Structure 1
Amino acid sequence: MDQRPPSDDRSWLRALHRGYAAIWVLLGLCPPALAVLDQPSATKYWSLGLLATLGVGYGIVRTVPGNPVLRPPAYLGLVALGLGGMSYLLGGGAALFIATLPQFWIVSRSPRQAVAFSTAAAALTVAGGAVRQGLWIGNVLFTALGYVVGVGVGLLVHRVVEESTARTALLRAELAAARQSLAEAYQRQGAADERERLAREIHDTLAQGFASIVVLAEAARTSVATVPDRAVRQLLSIEQTARENLAEARVLVGSAPQSGVAAGSIAQTLRRTLDRFADETGLRIDADLPDLACDQPTRVALLRCTQESLANVRKHAGASTVAVVLARGADGIDLEITDDGRGFVVATSRGFGLEGMRKRLAGLGGELVVTSSPGEGTRVLATLPTNGQG
């Protein structure tokens, strides 16, 4: 049969074919070859020649399946004639016929072809023996029995192989569909994660910058006639914030370094942010900012947490004092930001900013703890591992 088993099955199938070939040579070809050694020369040489032809032919068909000389149908026809010839020379060939039966299913291209050639071989085996020494019942009986069993087993095996091949094809199709679905899910998840990252970056940078510009612009408009110097400082802060927003926008569109934050000391970076916040709001800032070493991602995360916390103080707290403490803790760097504002119920808070801070810190192996209650102010504690940095 011209089956094309899956590649994983080819090794054991080749081993099975090699095993059959060895058994066929030992139990199919060798016994009649030994049996004719004491026969007359004509019978002996014709028999040995036919057996050798069958052996060489099977070797060619199995080792060089695409050869143009001995195609599978030609070989099977040769086998049928050879079995008939051996049956004639030996006066019966049921044993050789039975040993050769699997070849009709191994070599043929379809069950129909296998049945046709095995039928012809069975008929020639019976006919050869009958011509030589009459209709010997034993030869006829064993040939017929071998033929019936061989055809039955061959059809059964063909059906099993066909169903197995169909199941394998179905499983492979389902696996391919599952892989495609999984790839699409990963792609959708990646797009969703990227949208969430961009939303967090916009909220932490551009949105806060624009909010600061609005507050400064309103303050400058009211003080331009009465306190011109203050208005000038506020306009300068507006210009600086707008420039920083422009730099952040370039980062978001991929035309600037990824962090959008210039390299430097974390203490200096936080100090500049706190000084500007104090200028913009007039609130008192108490800061303890030692110069701790940390990598750029950690520095950016701490800065974003500070900016978000200060933005919440500006918009919601109604505080008069903000305290910021940077310290090296047992598990890494701790950043604590407290205010004496009105506070809130943490469990009912649904703000995007707090959730964004949590996810940003979690992405670096850190955590965020927010403690607050109405009338008691708010405490934000951000902890980030230092990964062995000094």
Structure 2
Amino acid sequence: MEQRPQPGDRLQTQALIRWYAALWVLLGLIPSAIGVWDQPAPTRSTTLALLSVLALGYPITGTLPGRPGIRRHTFLTLLIAGIGGVSYLMDGAASLLIVSLPHFWIFAGSPRRAVALSGAAAAAAVAGDTAGRGHLAELLTGNSIATLIGYAAAVLLGLWMHRVVGQRDERARLLAADLEDAQRRLAEAQRRQGAADERERLAREIHDTLAQGFASIVVLAEAARNGLATAPGRTAQQLTSIERTARENLAEARVLVGSAAQDSVASGSVARTLRRTLDRFTQDTGLTVTADLSDIDCDRTTRIALLRCTQESLANVRKHAAAGTVGVVLERHPHGIELEITDDGRGFSVEDSRGFGLDGMRRRLAELGGELTVTSSPGDGTRILATIPAEIRAEVLAEETAEETA
């Protein structure tokens, strides 16, 4: 996988190149111009003109049409010729060459070309220095030696830097590959977790709605069949309950598959919703139900949670408790909303309970920041206490109210 330079890296590189260009002018071109100032007029003017061409050639070649590689090599060719010319006119330009050597490593495009082009510049500087003296006897002058030493040092430093940068880029490429792989695995894990969470949510909703409704239909149907001959009036009432429960199950199924809005579930005040549920429970089971339901304003999610907790608790009473009386209390306290459901049935051992319904209620309340407390023991009945914090749900209710009035 090819590691592409990031926008921030490109900006940093461009900034460093601009800083080097400024230093090249300050430490390379300007000292050469000052050094030729006391030379004869023809030499001074020619050298200044050549230095001006180099100074202008840098930005001009960068704006010429064509591919960037061609423009850069045009500037490097001009730089080689300029270094040779200045070396000829000034009897040596080792300092200009040494300051100019980074240009070749920046613009050549590869270490091999950088070594070759900077070698050509060094050769031009030595040749210019030799030609300026007029004979080959003084080939190894101080300027020539400085030129060769500077060139050799630049090659060693450039190759070392290229290796260091290459290792850094390779590490960056490997890190990018590892990061991409980690992101892919994280996305896959999140997808699997999301699917598992959705399956758990659907299972909980089906258990709390459709499964309870079907269980109620089965019980009512059995009772209606047994009472066909002896209690026709009671049977008719049970058949009506079966029809109503089936219609409610159909509505719940439409909500689950998304073909109906969830607003239809637990619509209206929570007290009226729970009252209808308790009336149905009394009608279907014949048990005595006492209810103290405060008219509490709460958001839709809280209403649904309270309704589901009530439905699950009543279903457990019907299936397991063998109770005669059920009590339901809904109140608002400073710390939150409390729903308490008690029965005088046979009770059970809470520690040994592994029911899906209780776990589902705990998870549903935990999603709202609430909690479920179950108190029971064999022979002592059962107490279910659902608590939902008031502050967080009040904020949600305010947001829902604002959306409805907008």
Q: Using structure 2 for the length normalisation, give the TM-score.
A: 0.89
Q: Who is 2:55 aligned against? A: 55
Call closer, same or farther: CA 1:145–1:69 in 2, change over 3 Å.
closer
* Alignment correspondent of 1:236: 240
Find the aligned partners of 1:227 and 1:5 in 2 and give their Cα distance: 85
Q: CA deviation at 1:59?
A: 2.4
Equivalent positions of 1:307-326 (< 5 A) are 307-326=311-330
Secondary structure in structure 1 of the residue aligned to 2:78: helix
Q: For residues 1-390 of structure 1, what are the structure 2 equivalents within 5 Å?
A: 5-62=5-62, 71-133=71-133, 134-386=138-390, 387-388=393-394
Distance 2:64 2:182 in 1: 39
- CA distance in structure 2 between the aligned counterparts of 1:69 and 1:45, rounded to whole angstroms: 32
Deviation of residue 368 (structure 1)?
0.8
> How has the CA–CA distance of structure 1 residues 296 and 72 changed in structure 2, closer, same or farther, with 3 Å as cutoff?
closer
Unaligned runs of 5+ in 1: none
CA distance in 1 between counterparts of 2:165 and 2:272 reads: 75
The code of the aligned residue for 1:258 comes to Q
User: Residue 285 and residue 7 in structure 1: after superposition, are their counterparts in 2 closer, same or farther (change >3 A)?
Assistant: same
Identity %: 62
Q: Is the 8 A contact 1:251 1:259 kept in 2?
A: no
User: Does the 8 Å contact 2:373/2:386 carry over to 1?
Assistant: yes
DSSP 3-state at the match of 1:327: strand
Unaligned runs of 5+ in 2: 399-406
CA distance in 2, matches of 1:38, 1:167: 53
Structure 1 residues 12 and 291, CA gap change in structure 2 (3 angstroms)? closer
The answer as to whether partners of 1:259 and 1:300 remain within 8 angstroms in 2 is no
CA contact (8 A) 2:362 2:371 kept: yes
Change (3 A) 1:12 1:101: same
Change (3 A) 1:69 1:141: closer
Distance 1:74 1:380, change over 3 A: same
Label 1:353 to 1:259 Cα distance change in 2 as closer, same or farther (>3 A): farther
After TM superposition, give the deviation of residue 23 of structure 1 in Å: 1.9
Q: Write out per-residue CA displacement over residues 267-317 of structure 1, whole angstroms, 9 at most, x where no aligned residue.
A: 222222122212222222222223333332222211111110011111111
| Distance across 2 between alignment mates of 1:218 and 1:36 | 116
Once the two structures are TM-superposed, the CA of residue 67 in structure 1 deviates from its matched residue by: 6.2
Alpha-carbon distance, 1:120 to partner: 1.2
> In terms of mean alpha carbon deviation, does 332-341 or 132-141 score higher?
132-141
Give the AA of the match of 1:375. Answer: G
List per-residue Cα deviations over 1:13-41 (Å, max 9, x = no partner).
23322222222212211222223233233
- State the alpha-carbon separation in 2 of the partners of residues 279 and 60 from structure 1: 94
Amino acid at match of 2:191: Q
Contact kept? 2:271, 2:295, Cα under 8 Å: yes
Matched to 1:101, the amino acid is L
Aligned length: 388
Deviation, structure 1 residue 220: 0.5
8 Å Cα contact 2:119/2:151 also seen in 1: yes
Q: Distance in 2 between matches of 1:66 and 1:365?
A: 65
**Bigger mean CA offset, 208-217 vs 362-371:** 362-371
Letter in 2 for 1:92: G
> Would the aligned equivalents of 1:5 and 1:165 in 2 still touch at CA under 8 Å?
no
**Preserved contact between residue 248 and residue 260 of structure 1 (Cα < 8 Å):** no
* Contact 2:62/2:72, CA 8 A, preserved across alignment: no
Match of 2:401 in 1: none
Separation in 2, partners of 1:351, 1:80 = 86
Instruction: Evaluate the alpha carbon distance shift between residue 63 and residue 74 of structure 1 in structure 2; reply closer, same or farther with a 3 A threshold.
Output: closer
